[in-house]
Amino acid sequence: MATVGLLYNLGKYEPPDEGEPPDAHAELDGESTVLALADAIKWGGHEVVFIEGDVCAYAKLREAKIDLAFNICEGLRGESRESHIPAILEMLGIPYVGSGVLTLAVALDKPVAKKIFAYHGIPTPKFRVFEPQDTIDCSGMRFPLFVKPAHEGSSMGVTPNSKVNNEEQLVEQVRMVWRFYKQAALVEEFLTGREFTVGIIGNRIPWTLPIMEINFGECPADHGNVYSRQFKDAWSDDKYYLCPAPVDAELEATLKDTAIKAYTALGCRDFGRVDLRLDADGIPNVLEINPLPGMAPGFSDFPRAAEAGGLSYNELVCTVLDEALKRLGLNHLIIQRNREAAEVQAFMSA
């Protein structure tokens, strides 16, 4: 049995401050998610210590008597905010579940992540980055283009207007990112094909959850095929999320292989999620990777995909925790449950 420190950032329920975007608090976790994670860890036979990942976290962690941390903190501020709590954990010598400092910082910096994908020969849409006050010039790129903040997650800053069809719309959207998100704008060539997300678990030999397809055919026509924040908040029924995705064996293998290559290229650990989209030739391109996938039961893509594959929320959380314990050499803290880890891996790889 392990004593697990559960680190999180609770969501804010008050409206964003003046000058902040309407989705400023989108990445923060709800109390129900934190409690569900805690219940799952307890179901696995471990104890839980709750630790808010705020400015007092360092002092709390120094005093906490925990064997390891289960980190889901999005961070408070800054372009590398997701790496702050893991950096503190490493400084204090506390092992933790999930990816390390560098991986979390790079994954949140979408342009840098895309450069790494390109270096490894992993397809990703052609792109440019515009810092505030740069000249906005996308010559050599083909419309439609797609504009989003360079350092955000949870579809923050992504709306139907993010897809732009001409120079005027492009300039308007880039300036919107500058104004509301106070950061660089990432501009990509928009891929018109189907969109998928692939959850991954494991380390030396990672395996995938069932592939999920985002079903744009069910949303209003004026929304377009954009996986926006509005899409995630307004349309949560299963008809919008096809899992397992209706794909043939060849495409399934290519999607899984591409996702695992991206996961490995960024050095992800224990669990993560890769978003992909098909280009005009039907080739999966990596849009981005999330080494801290949402864990809201029945809502977030990662646990939805696990459930579609027959893995309960409790089993999912404890499987991820067990992967971390094995990686950390803490096998003596792993508790054998009804379903052996090897059986879970075989089941999910089928």
Domain with CATH 3.30.470.20 in the chain: 195-349
270-309 burial: b if 16+ Cβ within 10 Å, else e:
bbbbbbbbbeeeeebbbbbbbbbbbbbbeebbbbbbbbbb
HSE of 281, CA atoms in CB hemisphere, 13 A: 4
pTM tops 0.75, yes or no:
yes
**What's the fold here for domain 195-349?**
D-amino Acid Aminotransferase; Chain A, domain 1 (3.30.470)
Fold for 126-189, please state it: Dna Ligase; domain 1 (3.30.1490)
Rg (CA), the chain: 20
Q: The domain at 3-98 falls in which architecture?
A: 3-Layer(aba) Sandwich (3.40)
> Which part of the chain has CATH 3.30.1490.20?
126-189
Full pLDDT tens readout for the chain, 350 residues = 899 999 999 875 555 566 666 655 455 678 999 999 999 999 999 999 999 999 999 999 999 999 999 999 988 888 888 999 999 999 999 999 999 999 999 999 999 999 999 999 999 999 999 999 899 999 999 999 999 999 887 678 888 899 999 999 999 999 999 998 899 999 999 999 999 999 999 999 999 999 999 998 888 878 878 888 778 777 878 888 999 999 999 999 999 999 999 999 999 999 999 999 999 999 999 999 999 999 999 889 999 999 999 999 999 999 999 999 999 999 888 887 655 555 555 554 55
Domain with CATH 3.40.50.20 in the chain: 3-98
